Amino acid sequence: MLEGLDPEQRAVATTLHGPVCVLAGAGTGKTRAITHRIAYGVRAGVFQPATVLAVTFTQRAAGEMRGRLRQLGAGGVQARTFHAAALRQLHYFWPKAVGGEPPRLLERKFALVAEAASRALRMRLERADLRDVLSEIEWAKVTQTTPEDYPAALAKAGRDAPRDPAETARVYATYEQLKQERGSIDFEDVLLLTVGILTDRHDIAETVRRQYQHFVVDEYQDVSPLQQRLLRLWLGERDSLCVVGDASQTIYSFAGATPDHLLNFRTLHPDATVVKLVRDYRSTPQVVHLANGLLAQARGRAAEHRLELVSQRPPGPEPVYAEHPDEPAEAEATARRIRDLLGEGVPASEIAVLYRVNAQSEIYEQALADAGVPYQMRDAERFFDRPEIRQAVLALRGAARAGGNDAALDGADDLAGQVGAVLATTGWTPQPPAGSGAVRDRWESLHSLVRLAEDFQRARPDGATLAAFVEELMQRAAAQHAPTVEGVTLASLHAAKGLEWDAVFLVGLTDGTMPITHAKTAEQVEEERRLLYVGVTRARRHLSLSWALSRSPGGRGGRRPSRFLDGLRPGSSPGGGPGSGARGGVERGAGRARKPRGPVRCRVCGKTLTEAVEVKLRRCEDCPSTMDEGLYERLREWRLERARDLSRPAYAVFTDVTLMAIAEDVPGREEELARISGVGPHKLRQFGPEVLALCAGEELPGADQGGEEPPGGEPSGNAAEAEGSPPEKTSENHPENGLRAPESSA
């Protein structure tokens, strides 16, 4: 059970008692670690399969977890989303707790919200306005905010209202009234009602706790206050809880998610075992280096707990940066590069084009179609809802019932052959049709069932019967766990969470799109940075980042690349403004030359460091400090004077941690000072002579002698070096209109 696990994964798998917190970076094998933990606990007799509830956020992730647990011999474990688990409990306990039949689940809210808006406001709202109102209602419910309290809660949370809060509150109240009149509930009600029953009925709560005694929660950084409350009710006074998450991948704050539960876990559970997974098995060192560099510029509480990933893969190509005159040119160049990758043998299903908002997809759909490249839209029509798939599943069920008496199976000697033979009766052929369009899309859908049968056969060589495969399809259909279609994936960055590809194209990376114009506050901008980080870490080997200077051919090229790429793309400087960086064509290479690649190790004990503060100090927090206290105080006094001279906060000169690192290293030369994290080229020029003089014990002639303020009064330093310095203000912040919460169905 433990073979093939690295030391940290093994620590997760063998820690079966008490609260456990797994801080898992992107691509570090967290699903492998927690499924082996559950299976190892079952094998060791510590867990009974039926008493374990593993909770995650998407049906796809839950389906993947169930599949892995079955392969590991722990098939009786329940792996569900929060909504699915709560819905089962609600249906089961409703007759006892309330009486009668449970209310009907409203799977689509849009029409009812439109009706509520028409009644409450006496006007018809545009579709985009309705999406905004629906998003606000969902946020209010997961944060347990009533319609009357919505305006005050909005102000308290610092949340930007897309329209008049009083109007939204009226629509919200009318929506709730309409649901009650029609005996319906929505998905947020599922959680609210389950919480209500477990709170009011202690006998039912105890029944649930006897059933489920051990809990595993994946993607814990995305838990909402309502989901956390439900989890606490499930747990009761027990502590058999394992949570897994990464604060740097928090991208659903707009929907009520918060990383606070993850970041506060050790405070609430002082005796918790904490394991960090930082060995990245997904991406090449070049991709990991860019991802680490992106987070090194982050600010805020989540940034303080970022994990420094260490790639375990062989080196690969450098990330490619590409600038284009306009969006059509960017899309055409992307399609050409994808066609080249296909020619090099990269499968189409292992390539993705990711963008910030769904409205960006159309131009890439057209470019790929013109280039003859097949593609699929992520989160478009549900796979198992497609007519050809419904027809195919019916045919496979019929063949499975008939067994060897179905003439279509004559000559088919394995599962994949049997599936192909049955699908041939629905029009599928072993060879794809010429061209693209609906006919090719239909063939790709059916062909994905054949490939799924091949995978199923490899995973279960002794039990790969047609009946077992049909049962697998039924379970996948129930969970909407679709197989991979052979086509390039087009998806928004939010929809790409939890997925990975050999080649990823991040497109449209201009300020105003990444970060999006709705991101106004510092935290909203940081969430946009985390969203880009999620996009970067989807790539295994090939990574391309591109932007266009104008929207249309011949337009004014006034756009600039995303500020998040400053200091990372060649020719740019950290915190660079418009015009920084090289122009024209493809720029290769990522990262700053002065920053070494690979893990940073503690100078005292040699342990690999992962916490941002530890990396900056180059030692573990618990290892003894060699800091010169006198020098540290002199540096602080000097910093205060320089900050006053420049009319800036003290931390904009150097942070406390940077001063501590200087006082520990006591550099004697400029190159030694430059190696300290937080001392970039600009700060080295501006403050370096004074800092070196202080380190040498010299008296400074005056606080105004050590460097000049940058022209134009621009702040000194850069985002990577002055973590905690106030971010530049933007003019925007709400995520993509219509973007749904992490899960929208049970």
DSSP-assigned letters across all residues of 486-506: SSEEEEETTTTTT--EEEEEE
Using the 8-state DSSP alphabet, how is residue 544 labeled? E
Fold of 107-185: Arc Repressor Mutant, subunit A (1.10.10)
Amino acid at 171: V
Those residues whose C-beta lies under 8 Å from the C-beta of residue 532, and which sit 6 or more positions away, are 294, 493, 506, 509, 514, 562, 564
Pairwise pLDDT comparison (453 vs 303), residue with the higher score:
453
Sheet holding 501-506, edge to edge: 375-377, 488-492, 351-355, 501-506, 539-548, 320-324, 585-588
602 or 501, higher pLDDT: 501
With tokens 């998003």, the residue in question is 135
Record: fold of 301-380+487-588: Rossmann fold (3.40.50)
Residue 289 has pLDDT above 80, yes or no: yes
> Which of the given ranges, 70-74, 409-413, 586-590, has the highest pLDDT on average?
70-74
Give 485's pLDDT tier (boundaries 50, 70, 90). low
205-218 as b/e: b if 16+ CB within 10 A: beebbeebbbbbbb
**Given a cut of 60, is residue 569 above it in pLDDT?**
yes
CA distances from 240 to 9, 182, 209, 261 (A): 18, 40, 11, 16
Question: Tell me, what's the pLDDT at 147?
Answer: 92
Instruction: Tell the burial category of 244 from Cβ atoms under 10 Å away from its Cβ (0-12, 13-18, 19+).
Output: buried
Rounded CA-CA distance 708/727 in Å is 22
Look at residue 342 and tell me whether its pLDDT is greater than 90.
yes
Task: Between 128 and 662, name the one with better pLDDT.
Answer: 662
Give the pLDDT mean for 312-330: 93
Write down the H helix ranges in 510-626: 522-536, 612-617
Whether residue 708 is predicted with pLDDT greater than 70 in this model: the reply is no
Q: How confident is the model at residue 559 (pLDDT cuts 50, 70, 90)?
A: confident
What's the CA gap between 466 and 400, in Å, rounded?
6
The pLDDT of 120-130, averaged and rounded, is 79
Report the CATH number of the 612-713 domain.
1.10.150.80
Whether the predicted pLDDT of 553 surpasses 60:
yes
Mean pLDDT of 193-219: 93
Q: Provide CATH 1.10.10 ranges for the chain.
A: 107-185
Q: How far apart are CA 711 and CA 206, in angstroms?
A: 67
Average pLDDT, the chain: 81
CATH 3.40.50.300 domain range(s) in the chain: 7-88+191-274, 301-380+487-588
pLDDT of 703 higher than 50: no
pLDDT at 62: 87
Question: Which part of the chain has CATH 1.10.150.80?
Answer: 612-713
**pLDDT for residue 372:** 83
pLDDT of residue 202: 93
CATH class of 7-88+191-274: alpha beta
Indicate the DSSP class of residue 49.
G
